[in-house]
């Protein structure tokens, strides 16, 4: 799992526009579709990248290859790069500790697993 996260991070850094955005201060990032958000009372920005694997016409899995989409979340002075899960149903993103699902764009689900599960209330900013 650590190797996969390292690979995803290296790929993200190779994507110049996304890497440049991630290096910008939180307030200067462009608003993603459905955002920006407030989670647990603090600003959160979500940047999406479909990656090389999730091109049109390619199913959710192909020969055991999981989707290549990622979401980069900036929240509380943290930058989290979460790969898309291979769960059935609407897209969700997780690294095993953090979990993000924008199923309801006005109230996305954001959770952290650390011993137990902590749910952060999120809502789209007006």
DSSP symbols for the chain: -HHHHHHHHHHHHHSHHHHHHHHS-GGGSPPPTT--EEETTEEEEEEEE-TTT--TT--S-BTTBPP--EEEEEETTEEEEEEBP--SSS--EE-SSEEEE-SSTTS-EEEEEESEEEEE-EEE--
Token pair belonging to 17:
């526009």
More confident residue, 82 or 66: 82
pLDDT for 96 = 94
More confident residue, 2 or 83: 83
pLDDT of residue 16: 37
pLDDT number for residue 68: 73
- Average pLDDT over the chain, rounded to whole? 72
pLDDT tens digits, residue range 22-81?
333 333 334 445 579 999 999 999 998 766 654 555 555 433 334 577 889 999 999 999
Domain ranges of the chain: 2-124
Please give the pLDDT value at position 31: 41
For the question of whether the overall pTM of this predicted structure is more than 0.75, the answer is no
């Amino acid at each position: 799992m650590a190797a996969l996260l390292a690979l995803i991070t290296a790929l993200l850094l190779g994507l110049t526009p996304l890497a440049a955005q991630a290096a910008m201060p939180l307030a200067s990032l462009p608003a993603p579709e459905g955002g920006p958000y407030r989670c647990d009372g603090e600003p959160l920005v979500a940047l999406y990248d479909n990656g090389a694997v999730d091109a049109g016409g390619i199913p959710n899995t192909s020969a055991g290859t999981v989707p290549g989409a990622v979401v980069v979340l900036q929240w509380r002075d943290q930058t989290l790069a979460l790969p898309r899960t291979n769960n059935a149903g609407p897209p969700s993103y997780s690294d095993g500790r953090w979990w993000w699902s924008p199923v309801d764009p006005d109230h996305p689900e954001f959770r952290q697993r650390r011993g137990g599960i902590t749910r952060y209330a999120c809502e789209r900013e007006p």
